[in-house]
C-alpha cells in the first residue's frame, strides 16, 4: 500500500547478491540504421529463427538509465503484422510465488530455476515503448517497465499498453518522475519524485507500483531508502546484467549483451530510449527460447505485500 508523504515535499535491501550486480556499459556510438523501420518487415523477420549475432568490441562502465534527447521517429509505421513472432514459455503458476526476501537490494531472482526478469527503463522514445509493447503482445514475453512519467510515451501508448498491464503480462514499476540522482537531492525532492510518478501510474494505468522502485543510475543510500520505504516503496530493484542500451549502441552489441546476461534467475536491465533494440527482437526471442527460459515480471515471482 502506498503511504502518504511525511516530508511534505529505497530501498530496503532484498538480496545478499548486491555485489554481484553487473557493470552497466555506456557508449555513444553513431549507428547507421534506417530509422524508418517497416513494421511489417520487423514482425515477419521475427517469425524466423535468427542465430545469435556476433558481439562487437565495446566496453566501459555505463551509468544506468541515462536521460537522453528524444529520438522518436514518426516515420515508423504501425501496420499490424500478418504473422506473429514465435511464442515463449508461459510463466510459472501463481501458486509458485514466494514472499519477498529481506535484508538487501534485489539484484537477482532467488534460488535456481529457469526464470528471466527482463526489466526496461525510462521511456524516452514513444516508438520504442510502442514497439516493445507490441513485441510483448506478439510473443508472450513478460516485462517489467520502470517508468519515468515525464515522458509523453507513457500517455501516447496507454491504449496499447493498458490491456497488457491489466492482464499482468507487463508490470509497471516506479523509476521516479524525472530521473534525478536521488542521492544528490533533498528528502522532500525524493518524496516528490516518487509520489508524482506513483500518482501518474495510478491515474493512467490504475496500478499501485509499490513496493518496487528503481533508483535512477542505480544510486541510492540509507536516506533514499528510508524516504522510499515511508511511501511504500520498500524494494529497491537493481539488476545483474544489462543490454547496455541506455545510450545509442549497435544492434550487434545489444545481442552480445543478451547472449551474456540472459541466464536463469537473472534480472536484466534494458531501456526504452533508442531505436536499435527494435531491430533485434527476433534475436532476443531466439536466445530466450533456445535456453528454455521463462520470462517473468516481479509480480510473477513474489507475493505482492
Mean pLDDT confidence for 125-146: 98
Count how many Cα atoms sit within 13 Å of the Cα of residue 245 in the half-sphere of its side chain. Answer: 32
**Highest mean pLDDT out of 5-9, 16-20, 293-297:** 293-297
**Hey, what CATH topology would domain 10-17+104-305 get?**
TIM Barrel (3.20.20)
Q: What's the pLDDT score for residue 37?
A: 38
- Cα–Cα distance, 206 to 278 (Å, whole number): 27
Say how far apart CA 262 and CA 268 lie, in whole Å. 7
Structure confidence at residue 103 (pLDDT)? 66
Instruction: Report the range of poorest mean pLDDT among 16-25, 120-129, 143-152, 272-281.
Output: 16-25
Cell of 200: 501518474
Integer Cα distance of 178 and 260 in angstroms: 30
**What is the percent of the chain where pLDDT is above 70?**
71
* pLDDT over 90 percentage in the chain: 69
| Tens-place pLDDT, residues 199-228 | 999 999 999 999 999 999 999 999 999 999
Residue 70 scores a pLDDT above 50: no
Name the least confident of 78-92, 105-119, 263-277: 78-92
The contacts of residue 184 (CB under 8 Å, 6+ apart) are none
Domain range annotation of the chain: 10-17+104-305
Mean local confidence (pLDDT), 112-135 = 98
Of 52 and 244, the one with more pLDDT: 244
Amino acid at each position: 500500500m502506498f503511504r502518504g508523504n511525511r516530508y511534505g515535499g529505497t530501498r530496503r535491501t532484498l538480496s545478499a547478491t548486491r555485489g554481484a550486480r553487473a557493470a552497466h556499459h555506456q557508449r555513444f556510438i553513431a549507428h547507421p540504421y534506417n530509422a524508418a523501420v517497416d513494421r511489417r518487415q520487423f514482425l515477419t523477420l521475427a517469425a524466423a529463427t535468427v542465430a545469435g549475432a556476433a558481439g562487437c568490441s565495446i566496453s566501459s562502465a555505463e551509468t544506468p538509465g541515462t536521460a537522453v534527447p528524444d529520438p522518436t521517429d514518426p516515420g515508423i509505421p504501425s501496420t499490424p503484422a500478418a504473422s506473429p513472432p514465435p511464442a515463449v514459455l508461459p510463466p510459472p503458476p501463481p501458486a509458485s510465488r514466494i514472499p519477498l526476501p529481506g535484508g538487501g537490494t534485489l539484484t537477482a531472482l532467488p534460488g535456481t530455476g529457469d526464470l528471466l526478469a527482463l526489466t526496461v527503463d525510462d521511456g524516452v522514445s514513444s516508438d520504442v515503448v510502442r514497439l516493445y509493447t507490441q513485441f510483448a503482445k506478439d510473443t508472450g514475453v513478460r516485462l517489467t517497465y520502470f517508468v519515468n512519467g515525464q515522458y509523453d510515451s507513457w500517455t501516447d501508448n496507454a491504449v496499447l499498453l493498458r490491456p497488457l498491464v491489466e492482464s499482468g503480462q507487463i508490470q509497471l514499476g516506479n523509476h521516479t518522475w524525472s530521473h534525478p540522482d536521488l542521492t544528490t537531492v533533498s528528502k522532500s525532492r525524493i518524496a516528490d519524485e516518487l509520489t508524482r510518478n506513483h500518482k501518474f501510474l495510478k491515474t493512467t494505468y490504475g496500478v499501485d507500483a509499490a513496493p518496487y522502485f528503481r533508483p535512477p543510475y542505480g544510486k541510492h543510500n540509507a536516506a533514499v531508502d528510508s524516504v522510499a520505504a515511508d511511501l511504500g516503496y520498500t524494494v529497491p530493484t537493481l539488476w545483474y546484467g544489462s543490454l547496455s542500451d541506455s545510450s545509442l549502441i549497435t544492434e550487434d552489441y545489444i545481442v552480445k549483451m543478451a547472449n551474456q546476461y540472459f541466464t536463469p534467475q537473472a534480472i536484466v536491465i534494458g531501456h526504452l530510449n533508442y531505436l536499435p533494440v527494435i531491430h533485434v527482437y527476433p534475436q532476443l526471442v531466439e536466445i530466450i527460447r533456445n535456453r528454455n527460459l521463462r520470462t517473468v515480471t516481479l509480480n510473477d515471482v513474489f507475493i505482492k505485500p
